[in-house]
Chain A
Amino acid sequence: MGSNLAENHPIAFRFVLQAKDKGATIIHVDPRFTRTSALADIYAPIRAGSDIAFLGGLINYILERDLWFKEYALNYTNLSTIIDERFQDASALDGLFSGWDPDSRSYKYDSWQYQGEDVPASIAEHYVNTTESYSEKLRRLEKGPPPRDPTLKHPNTVYQILKRHYAVYTPEKVEATTGCPRAVFLKIAEALTRASGRERTGAFCYAVGWTHHTTGVQMIRAAAVIQALLGNTGRPGGGVFAFRGHSSIQGSTDIPTLYNMLPSYLPQPQAHKPHATLDEYLQSETPPTGFWNNFPKYAVSLLRAWYGDHATKSNQWGFPWIPRIVGDHSQLPMTLAIADGVIRGLFVLGQNPVIGGSNSAMIQRAFANLDWLVVRDFTETETASFWYAGKPVRSGELRPQDIKTEVFLMPGALIGEKEGTFTGTHRLVQFHDKIVEPPGEARSELGFIYHLGRRLQALYADSTDEKDAPVKALTWEYPTSGETDEPSAEAVLKEMNGFTWPDRRQIGDVHELKDDGSTACGVWTYAGVFPKDDHNQARSRRPDGPDGPGTHLGWGFAWPSNRRTIYNRAAADPEGRPWSERKKLIWWDAEKQRWDGYDVVDFEPEKRPDYEPDWSRHPKGMAALDGRSPFTMIADGKSSLFVPSGLKDGPLPTHYEPIESPVHNPLYGQQSSPVAKQWRRPDNHYHPVGDPRFPYVLTTYRLTEHHAGGTPTRSVAVTAELQPEGFIELTPELADGLGIKHLDWVVLSTLRGEIEAKALITERLRPLEISGRRIHQIGMPWHFGWEGYAKGDIANVLTSVVGDANTTMHEGKALTCNLRKGRLRPQ
């Protein structure tokens, strides 16, 4: 679900087919019948954006029929945990949860906590913003296990709350909300729940089909709830797999070129949180229990790596130099800040926001407000040529001679022309070689950033201004080589791995990191990738043989600690035995008194399965987790069926309509996510619910023949010719109604803009009956633009700047639009 795996990750689909050969059932749930659907055993059509209704229906099916994996869920999840008595569920509040504050349009999290204790989030914001004494209620995590009722009878156990919450997600409601026929839904529920238990596992594969919604995080959460109930996480063949779309998008999340995190998953200090000093930051962000209790070691080691000898205990290791965020600085608001003139200069490094950014026409106009723009790519992109070829210029609204922006288009080196590592969707860090020099003035980003830094350090060398101190303090000595003075990628990787300070011995594992300044580590999750001066594990190419276990520990480096399946303690039963011979991965070796297995064990190696914390000693960190707590990044070590902290839109996945929907929410009075990030302004209007001007559902997607913004494939003839121009897909029923014939030109419109494309009429899309109304969905690939060989109008002209409350990811997968036959302008 949420993934068109065969088209967008064909090589990953290779393994799906291999599983099929062994008897697996492939289920594809998607608004469109795609090349993935064609290879599936069961295909379910659904309305774009209704995934939680579908998944909620599955949860209801599992609970109502008592199909959950008891031994797993009772021991490894928070199913039996008792939630605060003030908690009120969306089923009682018509779609809202307790704690809703209509003035700030946000939730207060007190009533979502465990009874009597606060539980910090495991994601990059550990600080729990509850109104009661934060530290006092957190400290209770060290005083005893969370309040539980193993009989599950207590009305506020997570189990009882789940049952109440999902009771309304009946097969009938699933059909009325998603459009998926009840019989198909039940067939899927039956097949899915069979993949559970000691002998069997099942997996969910998702991609941006889930994330590109204002409810995206909760779609993934809903799958996680199902998998935790069925016992399908941390086990071979189980999981909720994110299929990511760029070669190092996982790496650039771990080593975040993202505003809200420092490497790696440490929160970027925030002006409005208790982050003024390092002590406050560490105190408020360090959970008392679980693995994250190591937080200070990673934070201090990072500061040491960045500021070297300029970081001292007395200057808080340079912590004040780290810039504070004051709000949401992600891409969506960034484009608005450019439009508003707040941002004056922009670097675009191998990205094409004119194609991939929401509300593209707004973005193109916004770029004309920049003082300067640096675009680095292998060819001219739409972002680089906005000032003479952009939509507002072509329409006559803007003229190049009126655009002030100073634009630099700099050629970038491609794969094979530089060395370094990518981290794939499986957290696997793999090194790639340099084989040839890049052409002409093309340079790697490593070279560009390094030499830019050198120049800036020179420009600031004589400054005594305190604001310039971090530029001067930054450790920036990397060996260079060749005519282009290319810095050494391995030297950078060594710093990311970490070394002792000041004698610079590579550290071998994350456990060696310290919070006293004696270690430097740029990316703590990557500790171990370069454990010795002459050992770069990312270069390692030793696969298992045909008879090997298939974990391939000798191939590359999977963070953390070269572990292939995280939380793999759950691959063994509570007593430490493999759940079954078929599903064997790790186990407790009673003889050696340690864990062993085919993978690097994700648990303290010598912690017995029957270990109980000695609560009288107020244990911290891992010592506070018992021997049956696989989910060590979570403060109580249990999979969070119910999430007390870290989510801004509720502790349980709840179906809300997309911000733009043709129908009222069939499940609740609350129409859409109450906390979705919305920017209502003249250049970014939204369509009201059921707006008759925009009656159709539009969903955007990728094609197997093109890559993302299309630059690498539209610029290459042999891929461009496979999908040579933009198009939309629509049902024969809708086409008949509008008098549209196959390959006719049509105009799509929203309040953000209008575009034209050719129409492909296909039965692969189908009209859906939603709450008694017939709804048509239209599909459009978003790869196209005006550069390259394969051209077409930009789908993102239609989309709006609107985001998920947790991630600020846009809603390009479900919006509304209008459609008419014809062209934008008479030809």
Chain B
Amino acid sequence: MTKIHRRFADRVAGFVRDWSLPRQIAGESPYSKAAESSLSQNLRPRLTEADKVGTIICPYCAVGCSQLAYAKNGRIIHVEGDPRSPINQGTLCPKGSATFGWLTSERRLDHVLYRAPYGEHWERRPLAWAMDRIAWLVKQTRDETFVDELPDGTLVNHTLAMASLGGATLDNEENYLIKKLFCGGLGMVWIENQARV
């Protein structure tokens, strides 16, 4: 009951505070200052709430626009153009403007899904299990298919049975490790990304 009373009291207080008639009588314009509500009075851009801000590079095309990403309590609260960048000077295209929407999309996956051979459904599996399983499959495939030389004795040291696609959306460092592990370590030759498509 006290709670309700307080709420009622708040409402009355809020109403009186926002009620513009006294302010109009005091000479403020009924269309502007006198009509200003408490919400309006206290309004601030939500960027002021950010406890962290960083520079990111727009993740869509290759123009390389800079963005400022604002976060609060470990969650991104907004992304917009970085005015300091000589490339985009604060602007963004419709895709770049949707970066915040992408990062916070409700369609984002946050767990591993696994589909067993001949399975009819996705199943959830722990990340560590999937990593172990993938490593084992890679080793098995490689061991069964590795060729050191062609029948004519030409050295090849490769496996043709594994392939990798992708890289153009990833960081340079990620591409470097992909090529290093897959080519330099495992001997894969089918390594490609979006550059040709």
Contact = CB atoms under 8 A, between A and B. Distances in A.
Are chains A and B touching directly in their complex (CB below 8 angstroms)?
yes
Contacts of B188: 323
Contacts of B103: 414-417
Contacts of A330: 192, 196
Summarize B's interface: helix, strand, loop or mixed: mixed
B62 A248 contact: yes
B122 A350 contact: no
Contacts of A255: 172, 175-176, 179
Nearest to A712: B102
B163 A334 contact: yes
B167 to A, nearest CB: 3
A279 B96 CA distance: 48
A257 B109 contact: no
A555 B134 contact: no
Contacts of A257: 164, 166-167, 175, 178-179, 191-193
A453 interface: yes
B132 to A, nearest CB: 7
B45 interface: no
B114 interface: yes
Contacts of B95: 704-707, 712-713, 719
Contact of B109 (A347, A411, A704, A807): A411
B98 A325 contact: no
Given A255-B172, A356-B194, A331 B61 contact: no
A607 interface: no
Contacts of B191: 256-259, 329
Contacts of A324: 154-158, 189
B35 interface: no
A448 B134 CA distance: 11
B185 A347 contact: no
Contacts of B52: 435-436
Interface string B139-167: 10100011010100011111111111111
Question: What are the 5 tightest A-B residue pairs by CB atom distance, in nearest-first order?
Answer: A440-B110, A424-B64, A420-B171, A257-B167, A433-B54
A798 to B, nearest CB: 15
Interface stretch (B11-19, B22-30, B70-78): B70-78
B37 interface: no
Given A251-B171, A496-B173, A246 B115 contact: no
B108 interface: yes
Contacts of A555: 85-86
A346 B160 contact: no
B73 to A, nearest CB: 9
Contacts of A421: 171-173
Contacts of B157: 320-324, 467, 470
A343 interface: yes
Interface in A417-445: 417-418, 420-426, 428-437, 439-445
Contacts of B94: 10, 704-705, 719, 722
A249 B195 contact: yes
* Best-buried of A262, A323, A439, A526 by chain B (most CB within 10 Å): A323
A717 interface: yes
Interface string A717-736: 11100100000000000000
Interface in A701-753: 704-708, 712-713, 715-719, 722
Contacts of A371: 137, 141
B183 interface: yes
A802 interface: no
A349 B167 contact: yes
Contacts of A432: 54-57, 171
Contacts of B64: 247, 422, 424-426, 428, 430, 556
Q: Which size bracket describes the interface of A in this complex?
A: 35 or more
Contact of A716 (B86, B101, B114, B122): B101
Contacts of B176: 255, 263, 492, 495-496, 522-523
Contact of A422 (B130, B171, B186): B171
B102 A334 contact: no
Contact of B163 (A14, A343, A719): A343
Contacts of A810: 196-197
A245 B172 contact: no
Contact of B155 (A271, A550, A788): A271
B169 interface: yes
A266 B35 CA distance: 70
B178 A245 contact: no
A495 B187 CA distance: 21
A320 B190 CA distance: 18
A244 B61 contact: yes
A616 interface: no
A489 B171 contact: yes
A246 B114 CA distance: 28
Contacts of B101: 716-719
9 contacts: A249-B193, A251-B171, A257-B179, A416-B103, A435-B69, A436-B76, A441-B112, A449-B178, A522-B180
Nearest to A338: B163
Interface stretch (A55-63, A162-170, A396-404): A396-404
A610 B86 CA distance: 36
A252 B135 CA distance: 24
B154 A456 contact: no
Contacts of A87: none
A704 B118 CA distance: 39
Interface in A74-117: none
Interface of B: 52-66, 69, 71, 74-76, 79, 84-89, 91-96, 98-99, 101-103, 105, 107-120, 122, 126-127, 130-139, 141, 145-146, 148, 150, 154-197
A565 to B, nearest CB: 15
B141 A379 contact: no
A248 B135 contact: no
A3 to B, nearest CB: 12
A249 to B, nearest CB: 4
Contacts of A346: 162-165
A332 B196 CA distance: 9
Nearest to A542: B84
B71 to A, nearest CB: 5
B54 A435 contact: yes
B141 A403 contact: no
A418 B105 CA distance: 17
A377 B66 CA distance: 23
B129 to A, nearest CB: 10
A287 B184 CA distance: 25
A227 interface: no
Nearest to B186: A471
Nearest to A347: B164
Contacts of B96: 11
Contacts of B57: 247, 415, 422, 424, 430-432
Contacts of B148: 466-467
A202 to B, nearest CB: 21
B187 to A, nearest CB: 4
Nearest to A252: B167
Interface string A316-344: 00001111111001111010011000111
Contacts of A247: 57-62, 64, 168-169
A143 interface: no
Contacts of A455: 131-132, 135
Given A345-B141, A452-B134, A467-B157, A433 B55 contact: yes
Contact of A435 (B53, B102, B146): B53
A253 interface: yes
Nearest to B177: A449
A764 interface: no
A669 interface: no
Contact of A449 (B127, B150, B181, B197): B181
B54 A434 contact: yes
Given A337-B190, A418-B171, A262 B183 contact: yes
B172 A345 contact: no
B117 A258 contact: no
A251 B166 contact: no
A430 B171 CA distance: 10
Contacts of A306: 180, 184
